[in-house]
Chain A
């Protein structure tokens, strides 16, 4: 070993700091570490947000308490939080599924809108006559939403699988097309008396809410949680099953980790690309259906405050695990809900952004062991 001897290190200016930071690749990641870094990153993000709030003249502690209180403080607001979380769970699952195969589906927003359109078409074209019982209308709307979302999602899948087109660009562009498609229908054919929205759906096309049963259980009165939440939870279970207990899921994970190994194992990568994109689109489409049928009860332009984009963050925070998506969605639902009560209204978006930054930064700790070494004078 050469330790002493005049070490020649030419060409390097003396460092400004008395220590230097070394990153060493981790060979083994302890099981607890991913969870710890996620929680740590959120805590750091809240501290940074707190400092900014403090500089802006607010009281960070009071603001955070207010956020928690206005999203989890009572049965009523908890219900509202869950309503916000519902589309995030479904779109978050859509992203998590695609990201598992390293398909960068940035188009959950567009697939959400197309799903909402497909579901609306069932009652607006109409495919079923007015007065059809919900037991028939709702399943039809679900199928329509998933079908239209799935087909819309399959477009980038087919283009990537058979023509090698970059899916990020395609899905991003398709978002704009979907938004304009909705605009066309709510301004034109489906416009109600010239307003930029459709007529309200008949009651048979509404997803049941808890408040619908308030005559039987008085505590449910005013609770807006609807059946879509159950869709989300069931979908999370199904996606988990798909990923970890099915042949297709095995192929998805194999391709996601090593496309060359997948080809070696005889996996048809093109076919899986289309399947995953279609499933991802179907999940986002179901989210759109659940939103128009469970919350808005009509189709209009402003049905999504960007659920499909927030879903990307949700999927990442969840480390692409279906159950993690549920937890992260509820947290983000709370943040969106509380955002309405905080001024200026950009603050929750800022907190979201800082959380994402911190989470991405925390990956370094997962991959590397950080060592601080004193500089020898």
Chain B
């Protein structure tokens, strides 16, 4: 680094950061540095370890190994309070604001001074002045509940600036913003950077990274795949590639695609997100028995909604969804289950399992209505235990016993539990969302093999994943979901990674992007 004489001093340096969670290594020896007065983008798919790394920097998590240097001094933060005292502030995706209080009051919250709010007017002026200096348009006297999401974000930034933050970490700040608000934020960031503030910008949106960042670090599966590369030396396609990866986990033997009858058929399906915005805008597709359709795309483009519409968990505002010719759209989840629609959800602990119930109780979630588990209204605990032990054996779920609570299982074992249960329900349609996110290599291989076995057994599978390698390894056909629409449909055999990467990020495939470009910035 001393080789470049023009390089400004480092604001933050993180070396060899390791942070483990039960069953997952979220950060596996990560190096990261932030120069004074730059915007450094931290890019990666969900679960790549970006937020974990920054939470370690902010003192929210303590690293299992590694060291952190801020302003040339080694530090060991015990809490975000320590971090802010060292001039380091983080704005999380979920804001921590009191809705009924004013902007100024929220800015002052938790500070030792002022002890009593006698002269709030004076602080209003202070906050207004600070906001004006950084182009953060917000009325200090407004109450939080009156503000738009974009304005609330400005309050969060103000909070950090008021506390003297010179290093600002923004965790996916644009995820909640409208396009115009994003541009406002970028203007603010540029003015702050010109002022000597350093910014870490966490994102998985390539276009924005290219627009705002000076340098970019790419993470994937807890490791850095591109360390602090100047943005001018990158291409969008190359970044997409580093993000979704190239490393092949294992070459899996697959039999040729033997297409059967159409199992799933969607026609012009539209649905809204939880916030009432259009999430699916006219999806039509067919999936045949014995086929795996891979749906690639960056998270937040309608993936969750697509899976929920298929499994009866979300209403579609328009269109039809049929499985084996029976309508399941706009019905209950139970209707989908009775059509043998199996679902491996992306949220394993919140949706896929009940954490405080036993492994056995979790294994019967789909079969407790039928013999042999239940007889009319009673549940045969002996049959439950036999079934659970059989599945535990067959799918090598590592647990002390089937009475163990599910929350004590590691990520890989939890996913094996979910797959065991779903496969045992003899699916005709299997909906799998991010089935290997956060898993270790061994577990990934198991999950892949199970999905291929299902394909062999004749079920139709729709695999929704951000991991392009996974899709290319498993799918027979590949399509890309972008902003609620399916763009492009390829046979997996002749799919072009660069082209798919462009489609994933909203670009149109162009011949200008040669495959060689993608590998240019690999370290």
Contacts and interface: CB of A to CB of B under 8 A. Distances in A.
A353 B378 CA distance: 39
Interface string B431-452: 0000000000000000000000
Interface string A1-28: 1100111111110000000000000011
A245 B76 contact: no
A263 B368 CA distance: 14
A250 B313 contact: no
Given A245-B381, A257-B355, A258-B354, A6 B366 contact: no
B374 interface: yes
A132 interface: no
Interface in B370-412: 374, 377-379, 381, 408
B56 interface: no
Interface size class of B (residues with CB under 8 A): 35 or more
B100 interface: no
Contacts of B74: 2, 5-8
A247 B351 contact: no
B334 A266 contact: yes
B81 A11 contact: yes
Interface centre among B77, B82, B354, B408 (most CB of A within 10 A): B354
Contact of B356 (A257, A266, A268): A257
A214 interface: no
A261 interface: yes
A21 B130 CA distance: 38
B78 A9 contact: yes
B361 A264 contact: no
Contacts, number: 103
Contacts of A5: 74
B354 A247 contact: no
Given A7-B76, A12-B82, A247-B374, A265 B381 contact: no
A249 B379 CA distance: 9
A6 B353 CA distance: 45
A260 interface: yes
B379 A6 contact: no
Nearest to A13: B112
A253 B81 contact: no
Given A245-B381, A263-B313, A8 B75 contact: yes
Given A257-B357, A266-B332, A245 B351 contact: no
B343 interface: yes
Contacts of B365: 254, 261, 264-265
B65 A260 contact: no
Contacts of A249: 379
A279 to B, nearest CB: 14
Contacts of B377: 246-248
Contacts of B179: none
Contacts of B356: 257
B361 A250 contact: yes
B333 A245 contact: no
B366 A253 contact: no
A8 B73 contact: yes
A262 interface: yes
B495 interface: no
B351 A246 contact: no
Contacts of A12: 81-82, 85
Interface in B334-354: 334, 336-337, 343, 345, 347, 350-354
B379 A250 contact: yes
The 5 closest A-B pairs by CB, nearest first: A11-B85, A266-B334, A10-B85, A265-B365, A257-B354
28 contacts: A2-B68, A6-B73, A8-B73, A9-B78, A11-B82, A28-B408, A245-B378, A245-B379, A246-B377, A246-B378, A247-B368, A248-B377, A250-B361, A254-B354, A254-B357, A254-B365, A257-B354, A257-B355, A258-B354, A260-B350, A261-B351, A261-B354, A263-B333, A264-B343, A264-B352, A265-B337, A266-B312, A266-B332
Interface of B: 22, 65-68, 73-78, 81-82, 84-86, 311-313, 332-334, 336-337, 343, 345, 347, 350-357, 361, 364-366, 368-369, 374, 377-379, 381, 408
Given A265-B333, A265-B368, 5 more contacts: A7-B74, A8-B76, A28-B408, A247-B378, A254-B357
